[in-house]
């Protein structure tokens, strides 16, 4: 079983014919007999190579509008016959079945058809039957058969055959089989997920074909891999490869900036914002975001939602940072920002992001809908005697966007669409508020007249009292505690306002 296998007969039937020609010409030079169907048969013949139509082998034409072409014992017998078994060889000779040593097959573009929003009829027709069967059969019999299930492997096979005079080793065939089963399993997962959009079957299936090996995981002693197509989402203009921690921060940054329409800059460390500001001009947004916490900004991940010009780039260039993300950059900005070779400069492309999130948990996987809710002023219900002003409603909306994307328990303080401070990841909401107040005071921010947002309800009125004593004028919380009225009463007693949204934004 371990001896090299010389290719004598090949079945070739592909949807995509890109870069197929050199391989066909090479196989023809080795004297390989081709069996093929439809458009691929014509392609091979047009290259001046002899080809046997599959119909001539099987004695049956392509039927049912092309749905049945290769599903025949003379095809599958030639692929699945075990060359070392006398019984198989005898049956193959009895029924005049040629041994097929190479199968080159790809699959109808099911995922591409779904993405194109085609009709269900068109989508169903792109569910490949013959192709997937040929791939599985050839991969199963890798002891004797080479399977090429992707155009990405044409070049690899060409190199192998060139180096070994038209033969392949068992190890090489096994490797191609592994790749083929990856293709078939991914294809079946895509089909299942299409049919299970209503999630009636509570089954978890995900498949990503592209991957990037990371320098390491969260820490140097951990291995890390990103599964997905980063190149589709970002054009890297400068810098080293993104690390595991970079990716986690970039994910948090993208989720946060997508909440904003007006020019906004955000600075994040360990997935939490340490500086955010919205301004009519991006340069001012950058300056005000940096002023929130210039200490934590060092080594951070920066993101904005407008083109970075040269003036803004010059200001950003004064800070040491890990990653900068923007939808575009002026040519002068690129020249400024790429002067330091290790800093990562990413230009974001428009990519539809998943609506679900999942991660491993205990001995399984947990999945949930993304938190896509955002409660603006129209969904803020005043519950106190003091009602919010228009400016306070604007600031509450701003703070609510931030609190949604900050680690719980969290409190966010904001004023004039600028983050003043936040209390992050505390085991007590009181501690989160005290942390935010202390931090704001340490940078000299005046909290008088600012607003406060909480990711969850107040079980006791202590946070309201502390906030009022610090000068905070208006509070946003989801409500939902059986003791909500105590917090409302305390706000009225202290002369500050409160709105409730009815929506909690925990982030763990």
Query: Using one digit for the tens of pLDDT, what is the confidence trace for 226-252?
Result: 999 999 999 999 999 999 999 999 999
Query: Residue 495 above 90 pLDDT?
Result: yes
Instruction: Say which residues have a Cβ less than 8 Å from residue 288's Cβ, sequence separation at least 6.
Output: 265, 277, 279, 418
pLDDT of residue 61: 79
Of 8, 270, 434, 494, the catalytic one is 270
Q: Which two tokens stand for residue 262?
A: 């007006």
405 is catalytic: no
CA atoms within 13 A on the CB side of 498: 28
CA distance linking residue 344 with residue 245, whole number of Å: 13
C-alpha closest to that of 395 among 372, 374, 376, 379: 376
Q: CA-CA distance, 415 to 389, in Å (whole number)?
A: 13
pLDDT in tens, 406-440: 999 999 999 999 999 999 999 999 999 999 999 99
Query: Which position among 17, 140, 434, 494 bears the catalytic label?
Result: 140
For the cut 80, the answer to whether the pLDDT of residue 471 exceeds it is yes
- Specify whether the backbone of 59 is left (phi greater than 0), alpha (psi in -120 to 50) or beta: left
- Out of 84-98, 159-173, 489-503, which region has the weakest mean confidence (pLDDT)? 84-98
8-state DSSP, 379: G
pLDDT at position 270 is: 95
Rounded to an integer, the average pLDDT of 437-444 is 96
276-280, 285-289, 353-357 — which is least confidently predicted?
353-357
Structure tokens at 104: 């080159």
Residue 140 catalytic? yes
Instruction: Give the pLDDT mean for 202-215.
Output: 87
- 111-124 mean pLDDT: 91
Asked if pLDDT for residue 60 goes beyond 90, the answer is no
In the chain the first and final C-alpha atoms are separated, in Å, by: 53
Indicate the pTM of the whole model. 0.84
* Cβ-proximal residues to 150 (8 Å cutoff; 6+ apart), any chain: 106, 179, 183
Q: How far is CA 253 from the centre of its chain?
A: 14
Q: Give the span between the Cα atoms of 475 and 262, in whole angstroms.
A: 23
In the chain, what percentage of residues exceed pLDDT 90?
Answer: 80
Q: Do 169 and 4 form a contact (C-beta atoms < 8 A)? A: yes
pLDDT at 1 over 50: no
Token couple for 154: 């044409």
Please give the full DSSP string across 434-472, using - where no structure is assigned. Answer: HHHHHHHHHTT---TT-EEEESS--SSTHHHHHHHHTT-
> Measured between alpha carbons, how far is 299 from 243 in angstroms, rounded to an integer?
14
Under 8 Å between Cβ of 273 and 267 = yes
Angle among Cα 487, 491, 492 to the nearest 5 degrees reads 120
Give the Cα separation of 284 and 55 in Å (integer): 71
Q: 308 forms bridges with which residues in the sheet?
A: 329
């Amino acid at each position: 079983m371990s001896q090299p296998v010389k290719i004598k007969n090949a079945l070739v039937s592909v949807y995509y014919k890109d870069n197929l020609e050199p391989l066909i010409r090479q196989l023809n030079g080795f004297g390989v007999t081709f069996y093929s169907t439809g458009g691929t048969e014509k392609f091979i013949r047009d290259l001046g190579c002899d080809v046997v139509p599959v119909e001539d082998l099987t004695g049956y034409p392509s039927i049912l509008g092309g749905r049945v072409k290769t599903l025949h014992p003379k095809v599958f017998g030639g692929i699945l016959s075990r060359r070392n078994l006398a019984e198989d060889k005898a049956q193959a000779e009895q029924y005049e079945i040629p041994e097929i040593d190479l199968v080159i097959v790809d699959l109808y573009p099911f995922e591409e058809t779904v993405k194109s929003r085609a009709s269900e009829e068109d989508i169903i027709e792109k569910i490949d039957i013959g192709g997937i069967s040929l791939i599985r059969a050839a991969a199963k019999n890798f002891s004797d058969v080479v399977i090429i299930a992707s155009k990405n492997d044409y070049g690899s096979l060409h190199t192998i055959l060139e180096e070994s005079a038209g033969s392949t080793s068992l190890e090489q065939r096994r490797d191609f089989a592994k790749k083929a089963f990856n293709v078939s399993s991914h294809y079946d997962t895509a089909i299942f997920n299409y049919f299970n959009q209503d999630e009636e079957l509570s089954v978890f299936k995900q498949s990503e074909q592209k991957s990037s090996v990371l320098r390491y995981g969260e820490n140097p002693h951990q291995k890390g891999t990103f599964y997905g197509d980063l190149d589709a989402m970002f054009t890297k203009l400068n810098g080293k490869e993104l690390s595991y921690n970079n990716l986690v921060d970039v994910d948090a940054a993208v989720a946060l900036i997508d909440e904003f329409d007006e020019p906004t800059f955000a600075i994040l460390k360990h997935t939490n914002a340490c500086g955010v500001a919205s301004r009519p001009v991006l340069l001012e947004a950058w300056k005000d975001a940096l002023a929130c916490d210039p200490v934590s900004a060092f080594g951070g991940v920066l993101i904005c939602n407008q083109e970075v010009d040269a003036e803004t780039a010059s200001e950003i260039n004064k800070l040491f940072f890990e990653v900068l993300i923007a939808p575009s950059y002026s040519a002068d900005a690129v020249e400024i920002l790429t002067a330091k070779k290790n800093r990562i400069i990413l230009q974001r492309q428009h990519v539809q992001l998943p609506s679900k999130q999942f991660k491993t948990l205990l001995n399984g996987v947990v999945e949930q809908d993304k938190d896509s809710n955002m409660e603006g002023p129209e969904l803020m219900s005043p519950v106190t005697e003091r009602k919010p002003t228009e400016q306070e409603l604007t600031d509450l909306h701003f703070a609510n966007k931030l609190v949604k994307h900050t680690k719980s328990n969290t409190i966010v303080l904001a004023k004039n669409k600028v983050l003043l401070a936040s209390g992050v990841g505390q085991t007590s909401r009181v501690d989160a508020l005290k942390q935010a107040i202390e931090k704001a005071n340490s940078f000299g921010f005046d909290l008088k007249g600012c607003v406060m947002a909480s990711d969850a309800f107040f079980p006791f009125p202590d946070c309201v009292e502390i906030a009022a004593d610090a000068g905070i004028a208006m509070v946003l919380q989801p409500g939902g505690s059986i003791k909500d009225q105590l917090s409302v009463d305390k706000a009225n007693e202290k002369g500050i306002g409160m709105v409730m949204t009815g929506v909690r934004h925990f982030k763990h």
